[in-house]
Amino acid sequence: MCLWKVALLLMVALVATPCSAQLASFESSVAGSLSPSGGGEGWFSSGGTATVVPSGGIGGPSFGAPTHGNQWCIVHSAGSLGSLASAGGGPAPYPLGGGATGNLSLTILLPTTATTLSFDWNWVTPECANDPQWNDFLTVDLTQGGVSVLNLLYRDTYSSSLAPPAVTPDESGSVPVGYCNPIGPLEETGFGTMKAVSMSIPASLLGQVVTFEVNVGDGGDAAYNNYAWIDTLDCPGATIVSCSSGNPEWQGNQAGSTFMIDGQHGTPTSPAQVSVCEGETATIEFQSSNVGLPWELFLTQGPAVSASTTGLVTPCGQVVNLDFTDPTLSMLYGGTWSVPFQNLGPILFSSPVPLNLTGQMVVISPTHPDGFELSGASMLSVGCEIAETFTGTPDEYSLAVHTVDLQWTPDPTTPDLEDNVADIDPFHDATLTLDYADPFGGSQQLTAQVQIDTVNKEITYFGFPVTTLEDVFGVIAPGPGAQFTFASTIPIQIQIAGMVLAAAPPKYITDRAVPRKVVSLSDGRPTKPDVTQVQANAWLMMKMLSAGTTQTGAPADSYDCHGYTFTGGVKWINDNQVQKILDDNGYMARAAGMVMVGDLVVYRNGGAIKHSGVVRTVSAMGNATVIESKWGALGRYRHAPAYVPVGYGTPTFYHSARANGHILQTQ
């Protein structure tokens, strides 16, 4: 397995536990099999079996164990992937990969004053001596990021200290017959006793977090399994690094790994999302306290993914918010881990063409239990000016088709009637049309009804993904001047062999020098009928809001509150489009007692924008008294500022010197 995969899959978080006279001797561990999540005292196993054995568990204190207290551990390769090729005499074939060996691990922080590390052990293999084909091995190492930084012990069938027949049993209490019967299995000489290892710790590892790993590997097959006895790990002054549980969805920036775009950064609650137009500059910054250590930037053209979808989570909380199955996944430096990190300052980035990039930074960190630190995920979208149709002269008609940017993301739950979030089904109809001149001088038009799969973000035709236009129209030669048209009420862009098309392109834009598009919809609930007046009245009564509202507009799905505020009731605008309008159109918050008729009011709940409206009357004290706003798919109403559905939250008032009031510019 490649280093970068090992680094991202082997993750733990740092919580130090003071050591006792012996750093770890299984006394606090639960008897029985250890798991990847551990069994007490910080020990865990990522392959094969690791069994904590109590005194008397296999016939009483015998064969030299336990060497401290009343419990020890037997690490067995049974159940591992096995079949690792190991050269006679070693070293072990690192990186081993998760599950390839019987494994026992403990993450520790070495003190700056450490001098030695010691442990007790024994090993049995059922293979023959000096076996080039079935060369089992035992390796005990200090590792960082899944790679050995110090080998403490190595044995394989070529080791001269091994001899038959073994007498020390496995966790079942029996000694395997072995492949080399009747000679018998091999055991480290001094049969039936535990051996001790004491190793000096190099200065380069002092003060660093490392993982003490025991790995027993089956060489060439997984049929004849080997096992090791382990007890009494000690390193004066060292501490155990164990994990605390949690349920993170997103990775946040940290001192050792910070990635920002235009000052925005990923947090534990969301990734950073920045949009700029073609040719506009975005400022990218990389920061780390681990200057001089290797680093990498992982990139995809897809969106960031949460832990509960296709992200990866460590037992202690670092989160990989990239989809490893995405075929566009790449690394800035090709995964060589040879480029030392330097704080270069802001980097200016621009693109003349539309694109989407999502990135997450990784920096090697010897003081972190993972051996590296992750940044938050940051998403950059480039694209504003998009043609609705394209006229081209393709050389052939086998043109690749894929979705580029689905501007609207479906909500996982069905929005309530008052919500200002579009309620669109996962599948939505669209039309793809080809107008072309045939070889006989005539004109032809082909039209196909396709579907937009908003979950997988792809186009389908009769349920099958469209990867080329041949999937829709078959093999034809359209000739020069062919015109492709894509029509849909959902704001989606597609790309056909490098040609960008858009259905229902955004009509509205912000005021800044390079304007940003404001995604709008003609219908917020295209698959549902409009709410009737009777239904709206019943809803108001149920929510006890009837008495404090005066209706000024009928229920409609064609616009919502933001569509009323910013388009005059022409379009539906989702909550997630409003912040860019506030940022780009010169809005300033009004102080208390300074509100004026015509001001904008924006409601937030937990920091998230949920509603907007326009101030219609104010008191002599300069406070808003009446607001006019549209309530999702319901009607438009006049009401007191606080007289709104509870989910809208609390209001903030804004003013702007714009000549058009709040109505957005159009393209």
Look at residue 420 and tell me if it is in a domain: yes
Instruction: Based on the fold, state whether residues 416 and 499 are members of the same structural domain.
Output: yes
Look at residue 513 and tell me if it is in a domain: no
Instruction: Based on the fold, state whether residues 237 and 262 are members of the same structural domain.
Output: no
Look at residue 510 and tell me if it is in a domain: no
Instruction: Based on the fold, state whether residues 377 and 394 are members of the same structural domain.
Output: no
CB atoms within 10 A of CB 300: 22
d(C-alpha 109, C-alpha 442), whole Å = 79
What stretches of 268-362 show up as alpha helix (H) in DSSP?
Answer: none
Helix (H, G, I), strand (E, B) or coil at 496: strand
The CATH number of the domain holding residue 75 is: 2.60.120.260
Instruction: Based on the fold, state whether residues 301 and 233 are members of the same structural domain.
Output: no
How many domains does the chain divide into? 4
Look at residue 514 and tell me if it is in a domain: no
**Structural tokens at position 342:** 């330097």
Instruction: Based on the fold, state whether residues 331 and 397 are members of the same structural domain.
Output: no
Residue tagged 């790993």 (tokens): 213
Look at residue 484 and tell me if it is in a domain: yes
Q: What is the pLDDT of residue 505?
A: 54
CB atoms within 10 A of CB 324: 15
CB atoms within 10 A of CB 457: 16
Instruction: Based on the fold, state whether residues 148 and 291 are members of the same structural domain.
Output: no
Instruction: Based on the fold, state whether residues 81 and 21 are members of the same structural domain.
Output: yes
Yes or no: say if 225 and 218 are a contact pair by the CB < 8 Å rule: yes
Q: Select from 382, 412, 434 the last residue of a domain.
A: 382
Instruction: Based on the fold, state whether residues 266 and 372 are members of the same structural domain.
Output: yes
Instruction: Based on the fold, state whether residues 196 and 272 are members of the same structural domain.
Output: no
Look at residue 522 and tell me if it is in a domain: no
Look at residue 527 and tell me if it is in a domain: no
Q: Select from 351, 382, 413 the last residue of a domain.
A: 382
Q: What is the pLDDT of residue 435?
A: 75
Whole-structure pTM value: 0.44
- pLDDT average per 10 residues of sequence, the chain (667 residues): 36 32 74 73 86 78 85 92 84 85 90 91 95 93 87 96 94 88 91 94 88 92 90 90 64 91 84 80 91 94 87 73 90 90 88 85 80 89 52 48 64 75 78 73 80 81 81 67 72 70 72 83 82 94 92 94 95 90 93 95 93 96 96 95 94 92 90
Domain that holds residue 376: 258-382
Instruction: Based on the fold, state whether residues 316 and 173 are members of the same structural domain.
Output: no
Yes or no: say if 120 and 202 are a contact pair by the CB < 8 Å rule: no
Q: What is the pLDDT of residue 116?
A: 93
Instruction: Based on the fold, state whether residues 58 and 169 are members of the same structural domain.
Output: yes
Instruction: Based on the fold, state whether residues 399 and 337 are members of the same structural domain.
Output: no
The CATH number of the domain holding residue 367 is: 2.60.40
**Structural tokens at position 652:** 């903030």
Q: Select from 382, 408, 431 the last residue of a domain.
A: 382
Q: What is the pLDDT of residue 121?
A: 97
Look at residue 613 and tell me if it is in a domain: yes
The CATH number of the domain holding residue 611 is: 3.90.1720
